[in-house]
Amino acid sequence: MASYIDWVRAFCLSLPYTTENVQWEHDLLFRIAGKIFCVANLEPGMGPTKIAFKCTPEKFAELVEVEGIIPAPYMARNSWVAMVEINALRQPEIKQLIQHSYQLVLEKLPKKTQAELGAKPAAKAAKAKPRQAVKRRK
């Protein structure tokens, strides 16, 4: 097993409510409430990618310009990137990006699921317009 798998796995499993399972023969999937936030290739010889994760469209555009990072096969349309060179970024940066992927997926979960996990629902209050006082007639 590749050395990056150990620290990626340890980091992903340190995030609350994370589960893991192997799917598609050689991919280790990390999920929250059944939704994938990170994929690690257990057999790098079976495909070009090492790890893949979700990001914002802006970060996606920035990351695919970095040598060693490509749009993730099958998932690029959903702003997923794949690292073909694990050294394209430093480990702390990768961990931060994985944690952000986790947060993006968590925030997209239904509010009921978020509540069941004990997560604070994504705040929409900042987007809401403040209510104006209604004058009542006497």
Kindly report the CATH number assigned to the domain that includes residue 88: 3.90.1150.30
Res 131: pLDDT: 45
Residue 127 forms part of a structural domain: no
Res 55: pLDDT: 96
Residue 83 forms part of a structural domain: yes
Amino acid at 19: T
How far apart, in whole angstroms, are the C-alpha atoms of residue 123 and residue 102? 17
Any idea which residue has 């802006």 for tokens? 58
Res 48: pLDDT: 79
Res 109: pLDDT: 84
In the chain, the number of structural domains is: 1
Residue 34 forms part of a structural domain: yes
Average pLDDT along the chain, 138 residues, taken 10 residues at a time:
82 93 88 94 79 95 94 89 93 95 90 79 43 48
Res 43: pLDDT: 81
Helix axes 91-108, 3-14, angle to 10 degrees: 40
Res 2: pLDDT: 55
- Quick check: 35 and 5 in contact, CB under 8 A? no
Res 42: pLDDT: 87
Residue 20 forms part of a structural domain: yes
Res 114: pLDDT: 84
Residue 122 forms part of a structural domain: no
Domain of 47, in residue numbers: 3-117
Residue 126 forms part of a structural domain: no
Burial 20-36 (b: 16+ CB within 10 A, else e): eeeeeeebbbbbbbeeb
